[in-house]
Structure 1
Amino acid sequence: VLTSLVVWMSDVTEVQGFLCPECMLSLGSSEELMVHFNSKHASETDQKKPVERPPVTELPEVTELIKDYDQLVLGCFTQNKQLDEEVKRTSAKVTLLVCPPFTDWHFWVHV
């Protein structure tokens, strides 16, 4: 492998200027490169269209993840609602323990 790399490297020649990305032809200016590329390679490039892919949300794996996420969000919402109710009940109990309701209003009126 090293021998073939050395042989390949010895075949490489240094090229300066404006290189065509398709055929590596060295051109003198950017304008020459544009004219060359458009006349020699533009139709080849135009024919290479990207592969059509379905939208990400239509992939089965993604659809399953979205369903799992929705269930998780619903579960969190339900749990948060239950916790909120529990906090309200506990808060009411604490309030009753700290500040018991006054049953003898006559005591407070006369004081």
Structure 2
Amino acid sequence: IFITFTRLFFRSGSNLDPVEANETAWETATNMIRQIGSPWNLDTVPTMIFEYKNIILVFALGMIIHWLPDRFKRLYRYVFANFALPIQIILTALSIFVIYQFMSADSQPFIYFQF
């Protein structure tokens, strides 16, 4: 919890002009903390889901795969390994294509690249 709390202050001023960054970052972080404890506006949830649908989809897919029973995971690995080589190549290329589509989408640059 402490790391998450301090990240509010760390990230809130990362894209600002250094001259005004401290005051603006402080105001932004304290506003976020206040909003966490106040009633939430649930009208923005559909918009948020639409805007971040790719991220939510990847997260949900990862959680589903994580929760699959080990027996099922062994089964689909065995089935894939027993496919003919051309089918394995096609499935691998398709997987790479899908992953690339998510990676090439507009995303926030990694924060530590700024330093």
TM-score (norm 1): 0.22
Q: Which has the larger radius of gyration?
A: 1
Where is the helix percentage greater, Structure 1 or Structure 2?
Answer: 2
TM-score (norm 2): 0.22
Q: Which has the higher contact order (CA 8 A, sep 6+)?
A: 2
